[in-house]
Amino acid sequence: MKTNLRHHILLTLAAGFSLATAVAAPAPPEKPQPDWKPIPADMLAKLQAALPDKPPAAPAQPRKLLVFSRCEGFVHDSIPHFNKLLELMAEKTGAFSVTFSRDMSAFTAENLKPFDAVLFNNTTRLEFADPAARQALLDFVRGGKGLIGIHAATDNFYSWPEAAEMIGGQFDGHPWHPGSAWAFKLDDPAHPLNAGFGGKGFALDDEIYQMKAPYSRAAVHVLISLDMAQECNMKINLKGIHRQDNDFAVSWIKRFGQGRVFYCSFGHSGRVFWNPAVVAHYLAGIQYALGDLKVDDSPQPKL
């Protein structure tokens, strides 16, 4: 009996020690964020040349944009190119001022208060583990502010359904790889956010996503999508296509509470930001999210 009791005590102590060790174990370190190099002079000149002379709408008041580019997954090397484009855009057009961050501490009600919109520049695998940070972002947008997502901004929030609903869809692979010019159509050719395209479809070389739920045309106003009637868009590995409805939206706007959301999946490649029509689309979308460009954002369910 003594031997069995002693054995039981040792096992209990060992289990308690293991549990204590597991509880006390430090959280895994955050993914190191890269130090971006300055944009080369030739690329800087191309970014500057793509900028419009003025914004499509005059700001109703000075606007402040928080640009967040933290990555816990894949890191796109186009991030600094878009950050620089935004900096140049702010200086040239006066549509907004810009603040850059990769620090999760930005997401408190107090820290978000000065801003009119938050822009996720190619963020990946963000989960917002802190419930207070989640609530701060949801309240910010629902309460009447803006959210802008560029390219990989839909590759986030896999355990946070409300945020996935807020942005309008989630990444489900990219069957259309960079290195080929894909064909796009304007789902709403006369829409002010599409003004830079002159009412016509176009071709562009970039990596193009397909979306999964919660994406639905019943919930968003689609602006641009892949033109699946064009043969070039079918020259891919068709096994990578998961959707059966040929609905591959690229850009949309939507309401979330009283707030406004603009998403565009162009932006895997930095050279996309040299295209004046695409840059005009970004600027108009940002001004919509900021609240200065008043447009039709009602869902259009029909493909």
Q: Could you give the number of structural domains in the chain?
A: 1
Report residue 77: phi and psi, to 5°: -80, 0
> Model confidence at 29, in pLDDT bands (50, 70, 90)?
low
266: its two tokens: 């162009």
Report the predicted TM-score, pTM, of the whole model to 2 decimal places. Answer: 0.89
Residue 274 forms part of a structural domain: yes
CB atoms within 10 A of CB 4: 8
- Residue 202 DSSP SS3: strand
Confidence at 122, pLDDT banded by 50, 70, 90 = very high
Domain contains 53: yes
185 falls within a domain? no
Q: Output the six-digit token pair for 19.
A: 């549990």
Residue 214 included in any domain:
no
Residue 229 lies in a domain: no
Establish if 253 belongs to a structural domain.
Answer: yes
CATH number for the domain including 284? Answer: 3.40.50.880
Evaluate whether residue 301 is within a structural domain.
no
Please indicate, yes or no, if residue 217 is contained in any of the structural domains. no
What residues contact residue 85 under an 8 Å CB cut-off, 6+ apart? 47, 50, 51, 273, 279, 282
User: Of 175, 131, 171, which Cα lies nearest the Cα of 151?
Assistant: 171
Boundaries of domain holding 81: 37-170+246-290
In terms of Cβ atoms closer than 10 Å to its own Cβ (0-12, 13-18, 19+), residue 280 is buried
Average pLDDT over residues 26-32: 62
> pLDDT digits over 49-94, tens only?
999 999 999 999 999 999 999 999 999 999 999 999 999 999 999 9
